[in-house]
A = this chain, B = another copy of it.
Amino acid sequence: MRVAVLGGDGFCGWPAALHLSANGHDVSIVDSLVRRRADEELGVQSLTPIASLADRVAAWQEVTGRQISTVEFDVAHDYDALVAFLDDTRPDAVVHFAEQRSAPYSMKTPWHKRYTVDNNLNATNNLLVALIELGLETHVIHLGSMGVYGYETVPVDLPEGYLTVSYPDRNGEMRSRDILYPTNPGSVYHMSKSLDQLLFQFYGRNDDMRITDLHQGIVWGTQTDETELDPRLINRFDYDGDYGTVLNRFIIEAAIGYPLTVHGTGGQTRAFINIRDTVKCIRIAVESGDQVTGRVRVMNQMTETHRVSELAELVADTLGAEINMVANPRQEADANELVVRNDHLLGLGLDPITLDSGLLVTEADLARKYGDRIDQSRIPAKSYWNSNRRSAVEGSSD
């Protein structure tokens, strides 16, 4: 299939593009390279030394003989380039990673809040409007987030996108209806994914589009079978307080002897997925596009849930580390329970890689290998959700 990967230079986009290419798909990457500029803005670099996009695809061709084309433009702000690209490539599927993907980054300053909403919404809207304008029947695969469901404890196993609810009609008889699961995002970033959901709901119905929304858990790990083939294919590894995800941060912290930074009590339960499973899920979503005909298909792209404090203990036990409880910069519940259904992807053949697979140690080896690239001053999370959280953290030791 012809597959366009928007945001194909990023942490999930790059290994997903390689995995699709390795499996025989004809892949084009679109990227504005904004994620690399965010590193410059934040004064940080990927733990792993990543090659330029041009060098990456050249290496991929050298190693595998497979070609990936690349185009550089901003999906959110260069609509004409997007239309020209889609008209030219007429993809069977578009995988849409072209969104700002960090919750702390989205909460840093007024500018970051505004950037995240503007970028993420316009990117998604532009994509949908362009496909409608061109009359293409392209399957759209979007990276959503588990965060759209929210992280309050709820008495149900989180379903995949929809919830059947009942309520009394005007005569007091109970009626039942399937609705999009009531959204409860905890950051501007997660809110932007909730907004995306409404765009998919509307255009899907109004213009009879085929759309899959993947509500992904927190990704951990770095390398995949494809990125391991050559050092120039290496994937990025973010450890900083903005883009670093919790488990990857614990791993590098342990690797360099920095106490594990647990926010609050660590009672937060979150859903996780290894990057190797992320790329498989994307391929599965692409290859099962024929199944998407009616309403938006929502699949939960995660494989296990863990309490943050238990993760910290696991990492401390496996790799050896101290644990440091720090005041939580986020406005969120101190603790929550979370059970998530992921029947869709399991039914389509996903065979989950779990935390006990030994990959933790592999990751720690990678972290140690590049440990001299770490700037420890970039480890603490310094993006505050609101003025109360700022006071709480700045008034405490870190």
Query: Which of chain B's residues have a CB closer than 8 A to the CB of A195?
Result: 121, 195, 198
Interface residues of A in 188-203 (CB under 8 A from B): 188, 191, 194-195, 198-199, 201-202
| A-to-B contact residues, CB < 8 Å | 79, 110, 113-114, 117-118, 121-122, 125-126, 129-130, 132-133, 135, 155-157, 163-170, 173, 175, 177, 179-180, 182-183, 185-186, 188, 191, 194-195, 198-199, 201-202, 206-208, 331, 339, 385-387
Query: Which of chain B's residues have a CB closer than 8 A to the CB of A133?
Result: 110
The 9 A-B residue pairs with the shortest CB-CB distance, nearest first, are: A155-B169, A165-B165, A179-B182, A191-B202, A110-B133, A117-B125, A110-B129, A165-B167, A113-B129
- Using A170-B339, A195-B198, A202-B185 as known contacts, say yes or no to A132 and B110 having CB atoms under 8 A apart: yes
CA distance A129 to B107 in the complex (A): 10
- Using A170-B155, A198-B194 as known contacts, say yes or no to A114 and B110 having CB atoms under 8 A apart: no
- Using A122-B117, A180-B182, A207-B386 as known contacts, say yes or no to A167 and B170 having CB atoms under 8 A apart: no
CA distance A273 to B333 in the complex (A): 42
Asked if A114 contacts B125 (CB within 8 A), the reply is yes
Query: Which of chain B's residues have a CB closer than 8 A to the CB of A194?
Result: 198
Asked if A199 contacts B206 (CB within 8 A), the reply is no
A133: nearest chain-B partner, CB-CB: B110
Q: What is the distance, in angstroms, from A133's C-beta to the closest C-beta of chain B?
A: 5
- Using A114-B126, A386-B207 as known contacts, say yes or no to A183 and B165 having CB atoms under 8 A apart: no
Q: What is the distance, in angstroms, from A352's C-beta to the closest C-beta of chain B?
A: 21
Asked if B156 contacts A114 (CB within 8 A), the reply is no
CA distance A114 to B125 in the complex (A): 7
Query: Which of chain B's residues have a CB closer than 8 A to the CB of A169?
Result: 155-156
Q: What is the distance, in angstroms, from A388's C-beta to the closest C-beta of chain B?
A: 8
CA distance A167 to B125 in the complex (A): 32
Q: What is the distance, in angstroms, from A336's C-beta to the closest C-beta of chain B?
A: 15
Asked if A183 contacts B198 (CB within 8 A), the reply is yes
